[in-house]
């Protein structure tokens, strides 16, 4: 007995759409997510820290199973796809039923329905038309438009409110799928990287997370950057003035701060960091002729700039080292932090063709400070700053935000909007007395609805009363008989 | 027989009152010391102190009702909660005014808002749904919160650039509302379990597992020959001492480890007795287990007092670098919270043990409680959803990515999934009653882990909270 393709598909569909499968999938997602928060994750954690935390064998195992980057492994993505499929299947499975509710409301209740409906009441009447008229007025009182349903064998009233609530759960599920779709689009087509700019420069190279470099078809120019601090020195604000230059033209510009990025063609530039480059911007000296007490002049130098000191003498800033160290007669930079700076100056006298190389501060054996015709007193040092920009392209994010808004709307309907239905049918009881059967149903929040229903029945009776005076003697007419058989 | 009688005897109740009174007096004393230290009279610290006094008073009255069964206590407890809420509101307003932003920027400020929301929701539940004794569960949580605040850093700190966003405020406001609603659903689920005739010894097992868990976590700091490791405190900078980024320096308090081990054994005793009686299928051992709970509370109180005395202002040797460092209660807020939380959990159990009939008489019936639990989760779930969405939107503006899978985000998603599971089981599968209540209790456990556990146990971007 071979399984037909149809039966396999049917049973797959059935499994996929069952709530049990959904719960199992959710539990799996939870387990793997927990693993992802407990086990150190790859791109974020330093490789050294990983090596310290786990033994090599363990690390090998974790890497092989993808547990060191749970959220980006194929099988986690596959799991999310399965969850999506399960949501789709479950929704499709249940949709027709809900759609029937929605598209073809049950307006004319038959005997069977009337017997089992949990919330119902009987109100005695003398005349059908009079009773239905009173019921219609009661409907108007609670702001529900009622309609008269005429069937060959029956004759009744129907009124309802918020039918859309039956569809709400599908809105929520659709919104979740929209969010997933956005996430998948971003996982496939989105990218993230980092670029560093110094004021006055432009660039289009982005250093990607995986170490590769991406070139943008336009470039970003930095027109200035800075930091504002609180009085205690903690940073208050980082800002950068950015301009987008496309084919030589400035097409967009903005001063960005943290939490407020520049967006151009779907690519976002975020203020991520700010700092000093360790490169010299400019340095100012008080310069006096050596050995003489002449008037001091103030000289400002930028890298490699040549500045005349007098008619014959020139000075050039040859080198700047932010954190210097001397080894074997050479000067090296230890780091890019400006903690121990040194400058290399070259003073040239044109007439005597004399070139003096010297360092500030003086480094014995390397420089010839003593023979300089001028002495230099450093006064002010300005190093360059850079702005660090996080660059990201997330083409799917609009689907995500649309999904979030849709979900908020859907959840509001799911939890707070009740589909309430009322039926009014004139009936004759076993003794031949005329009465109105009134039934009500709500898809959630039954107890609150029960109160509303009682009020509605009381209103119907009130509308009946002026013409039905003897009702005052009849307790069953003033107290609506509301039965609430098993929920 | 004699033993069973002794448990009903008012004299035991008196002991409890004295014990609770002493514990509260002690807690107030700690708070008072902090107030004196701060110096100025009309300040946020004092408002908070007032809130603590009223909340503690309310908690004591709820417990007092439990011991004596006097219903008028509950009315006064409710009044005390109102007074505490007023003082708490003052503290929040003061903080907001002084900082210039809503109080959500640090763990301290978030606790401030959380306790406020919890007290407000307690009063709403009391007035709107007539769940009169809900404060018995929520007030201890509020008290632990305020005590924690006394110890955490409270000076207004300037906001670093990433935190200057309206979306952050939206995010955290929603988080506090959602978490407080979850806390309420937890309390209601517990009350449902009481009304649902869940056996008293099952509660014994639950509170014992909770306490054993706390002390097992505390014992992870056990060191060599009975020492106990706590984080060193830098008095000048008012912060923990760090060896490297996220690596704290520990000092070892000699002999305290033995005491903690002793308490661990004491709180494990009722659980062991419960398990033995479960295996033997008879109840003979249960009265002994209840006795053991009582002894456990006494020993826990001793542990709390000794811990506080040894930690305050003394310096101890560090095994990391052999030097002496001071430590402070502020360096170990979670150990302290664990110690206090364990005592409260066990006291609540005793309350149930002795006053179950009164509780059952005063609580709404189980159907109502089941329904209100569900309704509370119906409020919590949309709030959780919006909280995550606002957080994602903020992250997108600050870091350029709406979802980073950092532990806090992941755990928020897990919380959301758990409650989504609850709603699906309830709506499509008609899950009611006990299973639903267990679900609600478990959900709140996940919320607590997301709130505290992730911050202190797992690394991530959410460094400020």
On whether both A54 and A123 belong to a single domain, the answer is no
Residues of chain B contacting A183 with CB distance shorter than 8 Å = 403
Question: What pLDDT is recorded for position B159?
Answer: 57
Q: Which residue has the higher pLDDT, B23 or A20?
A: A20
Q: Which residue has the higher pLDDT, B320 or A7?
A: A7
Whether B381 sits inside 8 A of A34 (CB atoms) is no
Question: What pLDDT is recorded for position A468?
Answer: 47
Query: Residue B263 — pLDDT band, cuts 50, 70, 90?
Result: very high
On whether both A362 and A434 belong to a single domain, the answer is no
Angstroms from A5 CA to nearest CA on chain B: 30
Mean pLDDT of chain B: 79
CA B319, B321, B326, B330 torsion-angle sign: negative
- Cα(A175)–Cα(A191) distance, integer angstroms: 24
Question: What pLDDT is recorded for position B37?
Answer: 59
Instruction: Mention every residue, 6+ apart, whose C-beta is less than 8 A from residue A95.
Output: A170
On whether both A91 and A136 belong to a single domain, the answer is no
pLDDT digits 0-9 by tens, A177-225: 999 999 888 888 888 888 988 888 888 888 887 778 889 899 999 888 8
pLDDT > 90 in chain B, percent: 13
pLDDT digits 0-9 by tens, B213-236: 889 888 888 887 888 888 887 777
Q: Give me the residue from A30, A237, A260 closest to B417, CB to CB.
A: A30
What interface predicted TM-score (ipTM) does this complex get?
A: 0.74
| Cβ neighbourhood burial of A317 (10 Å; 0-12, 13-18, 19+) | buried
Question: What pLDDT is recorded for position A487?
Answer: 35
**Token reading at A139:** 């409907």
Q: Give me the residue from A261, A272, A394 closest to B397, CB to CB.
A: A261
On whether both A92 and A115 belong to a single domain, the answer is no
> Does position B131 have pLDDT exceeding 80, yes or no?
no
> Does position B1 have pLDDT exceeding 50, yes or no?
no
Among A259, A268, A274, A451, the strongest candidate for a mutation testing the B interface, having the largest count of B CBs within 10 A, is: A259
On whether both A15 and A88 belong to a single domain, the answer is yes
Taking CA atoms, what residue in B is nearest to A443?
B427
A64: containing domain: 5-101
Closest CA to B20 of B412, B429, B340: B340
Q: Give me the residue from B371, B417, B427 closest to A29, CB to CB.
A: B417
> Does position B344 have pLDDT exceeding 80, yes or no?
yes
CATH fold for the domain made of B199-356: Butyryl-CoA Dehydrogenase, subunit A; domain 3 (1.20.140)
Question: What pLDDT is recorded for position B6?
Answer: 37
Instruction: Mention every residue, 6+ apart, whose C-beta is less than 8 A from residue A307.
Output: A299, A300, A301, A314, A315, A316
Question: What pLDDT is recorded for position B386?
Answer: 92
Instruction: Mention every residue, 6+ apart, whose C-beta is less than 8 A from residue A288.
Output: A294, A295, A296, A297, A374, A375, A377
Confirm whether A195 is domain-assigned. no
CB B421, CB B183: distance < 8 Å: no
Taking CA atoms, what residue in A is nearest to B395?
A259
Among A25, A36, A37, the strongest candidate for a mutation testing the B interface, having the largest count of B CBs within 10 A, is: A37
pLDDT digits 0-9 by tens, A61-110: 888 888 888 888 888 888 888 998 998 888 888 888 888 878 888 888 88
Confirm whether A12 is domain-assigned. yes
Q: What angle do CA B188, B189, B191 make, to 5 degrees?
A: 65
Whether A26 sits inside 8 A of B371 (CB atoms) is no
On whether both A79 and A23 belong to a single domain, the answer is yes
On whether both A284 and A374 belong to a single domain, the answer is yes
Whether A401 sits inside 8 A of B420 (CB atoms) is no
Question: What pLDDT is recorded for position B11?
Answer: 40
Is pTM beyond 0.95? Reply is no
φ, ψ for residue A276 (rounded to 5)? -100, 140
> Does position A32 have pLDDT exceeding 70, yes or no?
yes
On whether both A36 and A83 belong to a single domain, the answer is yes
On whether both A84 and A125 belong to a single domain, the answer is no
Question: What pLDDT is recorded for position B16?
Answer: 55
pLDDT digits 0-9 by tens, A341-370: 888 888 888 887 888 887 877 777 666 666
Among B129, B130, B161, the strongest candidate for a mutation testing the A interface, having the largest count of A CBs within 10 A, is: B161
pLDDT digits 0-9 by tens, B146-205: 777 766 655 555 556 666 667 777 788 788 888 888 988 998 898 899 888 888 888 888
Rg (CA), chain B: 22
pLDDT digits 0-9 by tens, A40-63: 777 667 777 777 778 888 888 888
Question: How many domains is chain A partitioned into structurally?
Answer: 3
φ, ψ for residue B41 (rounded to 5)? -85, -55
Question: What pLDDT is recorded for position B464?
Answer: 39
Residues of chain B contacting A70 with CB distance shorter than 8 Å = 405
DSSP B158: P
Q: Domain end: A101, A120, A150, which one?
A: A101
On whether both A301 and A369 belong to a single domain, the answer is yes
Q: Domain end: A63, A84, A101, which one?
A: A101
Residues of chain B contacting A404 with CB distance shorter than 8 Å = 389, 392-393
Query: Residue B455 — pLDDT band, cuts 50, 70, 90?
Result: low
Whether A41 sits inside 8 A of B385 (CB atoms) is no
Q: Mean per-residue pLDDT for A303-315?
A: 82
Taking CA atoms, what residue in B is nearest to A393?
B400
Confirm whether A241 is domain-assigned. no
């Amino acid at each position: 007995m071979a399984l037909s393709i149809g039966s396999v598909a049917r049973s797959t569909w059935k499994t996929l759409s069952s709530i049990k499968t959904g719960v199992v999938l959710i539990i799996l997602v939870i387990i793997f997510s927990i693993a992802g928060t407990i086990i150190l994750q790859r791109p974020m954690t330093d490789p050294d820290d990983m090596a310290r935390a786990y033994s090599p064998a363990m690390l090998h195992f974790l890497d092989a199973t993808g547990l060191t980057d749970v959220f980006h492994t194929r099988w986690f993505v596959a799991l999310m796809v399965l969850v999506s499929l399960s949501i789709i299947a479950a929704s499709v499975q249940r949709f027709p039923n809900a759609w029937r509710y929605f598209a073809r409301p049950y307006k004319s209740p038959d005997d069977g329905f009337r017997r089992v409906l949990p919330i119902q009441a009987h109100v005695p009447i003398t005349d059908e038309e009079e009773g239905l008229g009173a019921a219609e007025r009661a409907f108007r009182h609670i702001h529900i438009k009622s309609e008269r349903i005429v069937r060959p064998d029956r004759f009744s009233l129907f009124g309802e409110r918020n039918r859309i609530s039956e569809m709400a759960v599908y809105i929520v599920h659709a919104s979740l799928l929209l969010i997933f779709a956005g996430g998948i689009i971003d996982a496939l087509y989105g990218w993230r990287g980092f670029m560093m700019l110094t004021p006055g420069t432009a660039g289009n190279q982005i250093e990607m997370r995986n170490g590769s470099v991406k070139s943008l078809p336009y470039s970003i120019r930095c027109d200035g950057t800075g930091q504002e601090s609180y009085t205690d020195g903690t940073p208050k604000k980082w800002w950068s003035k950015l301009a987008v230059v496309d084919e030589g033209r400035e097409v967009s510009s903005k001063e960005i701060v943290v939490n407020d990025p520049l967006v151009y063609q779907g690519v976002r530039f975020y203020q991520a960091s700010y700092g000093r480059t360790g490169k010299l911007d400019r340095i100012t000296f008080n310069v006096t002729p050596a050995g003489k007490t002449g008037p001091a002049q103030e000289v400002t130098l930028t890298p490699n700039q040549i500045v005349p000191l007098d008619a014959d003498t020139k000075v050039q800033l040859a080198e700047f080292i932010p954190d210097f160290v001397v080894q074997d007669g050479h000067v090296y930079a230890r780091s890019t932090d400006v903690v121990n700076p040194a400058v290399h100056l070259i003073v040239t006298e044109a007439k005597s063709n004399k070139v003096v190389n010297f360092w500030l501060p003086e480094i014995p054996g390397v420089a010839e400070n003593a023979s300089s015709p001028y002495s230099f007193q450093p006064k002010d040092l300005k190093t360059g700053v850079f702005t660090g920009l996080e660059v990201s392209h997330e083409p799917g994010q609009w689907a995500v935000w649309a999904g979030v808004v849709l979900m908020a709307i859907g959840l509001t309907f799911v939890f707070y909007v009740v589909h309430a239905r009322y039926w009014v049918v004139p009936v004759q009881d076993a003794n031949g007395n005329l009465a109105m059967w009134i039934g009500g149903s709500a898809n959630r929040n039954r107890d609150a609805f029960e109160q509303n229903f009682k009020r509605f029945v009381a209103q119907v009776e009130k509308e009946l009363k002026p013409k039905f005076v003897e009702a005052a003697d009849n307790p069953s007419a003033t107290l609506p008989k509301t039965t609430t058989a098993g929920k | 027989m004699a033993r069973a009688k002794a448990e009903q005897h008012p004299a035991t109740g008196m002991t409890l009152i004295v014990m609770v009174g002493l514990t509260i007096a002690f807690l107030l004393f700690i708070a008072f010391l902090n107030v004196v230290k701060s110096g100025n009279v009309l300040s946020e610290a004092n408002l908070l102190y007032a809130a603590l006094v009223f909340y503690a008073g309310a908690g004591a009255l709820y417990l007092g009702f439990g011991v004596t069964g006097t219903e008028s206590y509950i009315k006064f407890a409710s009044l005390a909660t109102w007074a505490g809420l007023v003082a708490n509101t003052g503290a929040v307003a003061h903080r907001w005014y002084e900082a210039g932003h809503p109080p959500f920027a640090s763990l301290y400020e978030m606790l401030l808002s959380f306790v406020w929301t919890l007290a407000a929701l307690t009063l709403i539940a009391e007035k709107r749904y007539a769940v009169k004794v809900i404060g018995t569960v929520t007030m201890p949580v509020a008290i632990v919160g305020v005590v924690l605040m006394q110890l955490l850093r409270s000076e207004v700190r300037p906001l670093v650039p990433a935190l200057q966003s309206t979306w952050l405020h939206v995010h955290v406001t929603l988080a506090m509302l959602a978490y407080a609603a979850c806390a309420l659903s937890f309390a209601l689920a517990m009350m449902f379990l009481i009304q649902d005739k869940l056996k008293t010894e099952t509660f014994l097992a639950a509170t014992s597992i909770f306490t054993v868990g706390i002390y097992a976590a505390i014992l992870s700091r056990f060191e060599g020959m009975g020492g106990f490791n706590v984080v060193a405190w830098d008095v000048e900078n008012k912060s923990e001492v760090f060896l490297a980024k996220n690596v704290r320096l520990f000092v070892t308090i000699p002999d305290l480890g033995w005491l903690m081990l002793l308490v661990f054994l004491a709180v494990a005793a009722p659980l062991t007795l419960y398990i033995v009686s479960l295996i033997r299928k008879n109840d003979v051992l249960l009265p002994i287990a209840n006795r053991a709970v009582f002894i456990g509370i006494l020993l826990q109180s001793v542990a709390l007092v000794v811990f506080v005395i040894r930690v305050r202002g003394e310096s101890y040797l560090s095994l990391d670098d052999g030097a002496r460092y001071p430590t402070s209660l502020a360096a170990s807020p979670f150990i302290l919270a664990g110690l206090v939380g364990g005592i409260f959990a066990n006291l609540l159990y005793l309350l149930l043990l002795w006053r179950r009939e009164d509780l059952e008489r005063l609580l709404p019936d189980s159907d109502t409680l089941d329904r209100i639990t569900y309704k509370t989760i119906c409020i919590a779930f949309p709030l959780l959803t919006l909280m995550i969405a606002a957080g994602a939107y903020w992250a997108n503006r600050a870091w350029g990515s709406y979802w980073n899978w950092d532990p806090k985000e992941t755990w928020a998603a897990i919380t959301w999934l758990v409650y989504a599971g609850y709603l699906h089981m309830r709506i499509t599968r008609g899950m009611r009653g006990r299973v639903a209540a267990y679900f609600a209790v478990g959900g709140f456990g996940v919320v607590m882990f997301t709130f505290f556990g992730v911050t202190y146990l797992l690394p991530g971007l959410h460094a400020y909270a």
